[in-house]
């Protein structure tokens, strides 16, 4: 396989803090034409199968065409829970495990495939591992529960030129609209991004001195109801570059100075799972 793996497999990691409800573990990579199986595992006390509990074992099996979920507890495996495997050998993979008080939500390519009830406490998880026939090029762990509507300042210089704001979210099943606003200190909206399922457009605009400008609405609708998204807004010298799920969606020329963008608002029919500024 010619593709480089950014993370060695077998991969072993100790969580630096507890796995909290609302947080999501994201694993992205690529399988080979000769892949047979790979696993993502959450462990207690040690990053291995030496006898300690494994609260969640996710096995992607090409030989059986199945996704298999299980728990190893008190020295033995429990009952397997199975789903069909949507992946084929050679596919890129995107697997996400979101923790809740009573269950995990497991997403494959941003679509929920499984709710898995906790068989041992979430608080017991200390390590996670990846094994088998997969190249891993992205691992991310974080997020929390966000109220919507959501409003927050952006720390430090905010979304300064050169920085990127990433919003991880999932539109509701019956979503009509949701919006994201980037604000200046005086209340002007430097970028209003309004995903309108009822119109099949994402409208971009700015609010300057309490007045809306001309709408921009070119481009296909990149969001789907009940399907997760990774939205990146990069503050470039002359425009906000908007990327959805790794694909460039739009470039929105600055109508205000690109400096001092230090407020964020999110509203509408959307669940937010993570926000990061880098």
pLDDT at 5: 61
What pLDDT band is residue 274 in, cutting at 50, 70 and 90?
very high
Average confidence (pLDDT) over 145-170: 96
Residues 6 or more apart from 199 whose CB is under 8 A from it? none
How many whole angstroms separate alpha carbon 34 and alpha carbon 139? 23
Q: What are the DSSP calls for 188-216, one per residue?
A: -EEEEEEEETTTTEEEEEEEETTEE---B
Find the range with the poorest average confidence among 4-8, 143-147, 190-194, 234-238. Answer: 4-8
Q: What percent of the chain has pLDDT over 90?
A: 97
pLDDT at 3: 45
Whether 181 contacts 172, CB under 8 Å = no
- The model's pLDDT over 136-152, given as tens digits with 9 standing for 90+, comes to 999 999 999 999 999 99
- The model's pLDDT over 11-49, given as tens digits with 9 standing for 90+, comes to 999 999 999 999 999 999 999 999 999 999 999 999 999
CATH architecture entry for 11-142: Sandwich (2.60)
- Give the domain ranges of the chain: 11-142, 150-277
In whole angstroms, how large is the CA radius of gyration of the chain? 21
**Average pLDDT of the chain, as a whole number:** 96
- Of 127, 3, 27, 113, nearest to 69 (Cα)? 113
Q: Identify the bridge partners of residue 166 per DSSP, sorted by sequence position.
A: 232, 276
- The model's pLDDT over 104-124, given as tens digits with 9 standing for 90+, comes to 999 999 999 999 999 999 999
CATH architecture entry for 150-277: Sandwich (2.60)
What pLDDT band is residue 135 in, cutting at 50, 70 and 90?
very high
pLDDT at 256: 96
How many whole angstroms separate alpha carbon 264 and alpha carbon 164? 13
**If phi over 0 gives left and psi between -120 and 50 gives alpha, with beta otherwise, what is residue 268?**
left
pTM of the predicted model over 0.85: yes
pLDDT at 1: 29
- Range 42-45 contact pairs with CB under 8 angstroms and sequence separation of 24 or more: 42/97, 42/125, 42/127, 42/128, 43/125, 43/126, 43/127, 43/128, 43/129, 44/120, 44/124, 44/125, 44/126, 44/127, 45/126, 45/127
- Of 8, 9, 7, 11, nearest to 129 (Cα)? 11
Whether 231 contacts 242, CB under 8 Å = yes
Is there a common fold for 11-142 and 150-277? yes
- Of 24, 44, 25, nearest to 123 (Cα)? 44
Asked if residue 227 has pLDDT above 80, the reply is: yes
How many whole angstroms separate alpha carbon 73 and alpha carbon 80? 13
- The model's pLDDT over 53-94, given as tens digits with 9 standing for 90+, comes to 999 999 999 999 999 999 999 999 999 999 999 999 999 999
Q: Give the angle 274-141-237 at the CA atoms, nearest 5°.
A: 55
């Amino acid at each position: 396989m010619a593709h480089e793996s950014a993370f060695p497999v077998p991969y072993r990691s100790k969580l630096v803090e507890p796995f909290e409800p609302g947080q999501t573990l994201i694993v992205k990579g690529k399988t080979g034409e000769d892949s047979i199986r790979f696993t993502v595992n959450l462990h207690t006390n040690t990053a291995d199968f030496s006898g300690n509990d494994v609260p969640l074992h996710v096995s992607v099996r090409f030989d059986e065409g199945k996704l298999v979920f299980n728990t190893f507890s008190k020295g033995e495996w429990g009952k397997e829970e199975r789903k069909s495997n949507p992946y084929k050998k050679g596919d890129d993979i995107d697997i996400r495990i979101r923790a809740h008080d009573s269950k995990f939500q497991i997403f494959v390519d941003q679509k929920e495939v499984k709710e898995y009830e906790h068989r041992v406490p979430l608080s017991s998880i200390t390590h996670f591992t990846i094994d088998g026939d997969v190249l891993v090029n992205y691992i991310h762990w974080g997020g929390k529960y966000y109220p919507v509507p959501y409003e927050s300042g952006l720390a430090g210089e905010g979304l300064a030129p050169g920085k990127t704001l990433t919003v991880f979210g999932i539109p509701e099943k019956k979503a009509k609209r949701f919006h994201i606003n980037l604000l200046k200190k005086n209340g002007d909206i430097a970028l209003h991004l309004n995903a309108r399922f009822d119109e099949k457009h994402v409208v971009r605009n700015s609010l300057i001195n309490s007045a809306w400008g001309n709408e921009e609405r070119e481009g296909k609708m990149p969001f789907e109801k009940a399907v997760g998204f990774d939205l990146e807004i990069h503050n470039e010298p002359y425009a906000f570059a908007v990327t959805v799920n790794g694909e460039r969606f739009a470039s929105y020329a600055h109508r205000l100075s690109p400096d001092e963008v230090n407020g964020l608002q999110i509203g509408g029919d959307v669940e937010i799972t993570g926000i990061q500024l880098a």
